Chain A
Amino acid sequence: MNERDPYLALLTQSGKRKFKATMRLPYGDAESRFDAAVLFHEAADLEDQALSLISEPSAEVRLGAAIERCACLILGLDVFGSISAIHDVERLSADLPMSTANLLRERLDPMVTVLRRDFHELLSKSPILVGAAFRWERIAHKDKLKAREELAHWLERFPGDPIFYLIHSRAAVDARQLDEARRAAMRAYRLQPSNPYCRWVQLLFVADAMGNPDALMSQADALAHLTRTHDDLLREPADALVYLGFMIASFAAFLVAQVNGDATTTYRNWVRWAAEVGCERPGIDPNAPKNVRAVGHLLAVLLDSPETFTTIIESLMNVIESAVDVRQTPSMPNVGRSRTPGNVIRDMTHLFASAAYLNPSLDLAA
Chain B
Amino acid sequence: MVRTFSLESLYEYQDEDWIVDSIPFVLAWLGTTGRNDARVDYTLDVTLPSDSTSQRHETRITWNIDALQARDKGLNSHVSRLLSGHSIDREHIAENAAYGLSLVAICLLLPGRRVTGMEKGRSPDFLLDGTTPEARRGVEVAGRLTGGFAALKHVHQSKRPALVDRTDLVEVHLSLWCAMPAVAEFHQVKP
Contacts and interface: CB of A to CB of B under 8 A. Distances in A.
A complexed with B: yes
Interface of A: 1-3, 7-8, 11-12, 14-16, 18-20, 22-29, 54, 57-58, 60-61, 64, 67-72, 75, 100, 103-108, 111
User: Interface centre among A11, A54, A70, A111, by most B CB within 10 Å?
Assistant: A11
A200 B130 CA distance: 42
A19 B116 contact: no
Contact of A60 (B81, B119, B127, B168): B168
Given A16-B18, A16-B118, A19-B17, A8 B131 contact: yes
Given A18-B118, A104-B166, A104-B168, 12 more contacts: A11-B116, A14-B118, A15-B127, A19-B17, A19-B22, A26-B88, A26-B89, A28-B89, A61-B134, A70-B121, A106-B123, A106-B162
Given A19-B118, A20-B17, A26-B89, A11 B131 contact: yes
Interface of B: 15, 17-18, 21-22, 25, 81-82, 86-89, 92-93, 96, 99, 114, 116-123, 127, 129-134, 162, 165-168
Contact of A11 (B88, B127, B130): B127
Contacts of A26: 25, 82, 88-89, 92-93, 96
6 contacts: A16-B15, A26-B96, A60-B168, A100-B167, A103-B162, A105-B122
Given A29-B87, A61-B133, A103 B166 contact: yes
A255 to B, nearest CB: 42
B120 A75 contact: yes
Contacts of B134: 58, 60-61
A71 B119 CA distance: 9
B116 A71 contact: no
Contacts of A75: 120
Nearest to A21: B120
B116 A23 contact: no
B53 to A, nearest CB: 28
Contacts of A108: 121-122
A69 B120 CA distance: 9
B116 A8 contact: yes
A7 B122 contact: no
A64 B86 CA distance: 37
Contact of A14 (B93, B99, B117): B117
Contacts of A12: 116-117
Given A1-B132, A15-B118, A23 B88 contact: no
B122 A27 contact: no
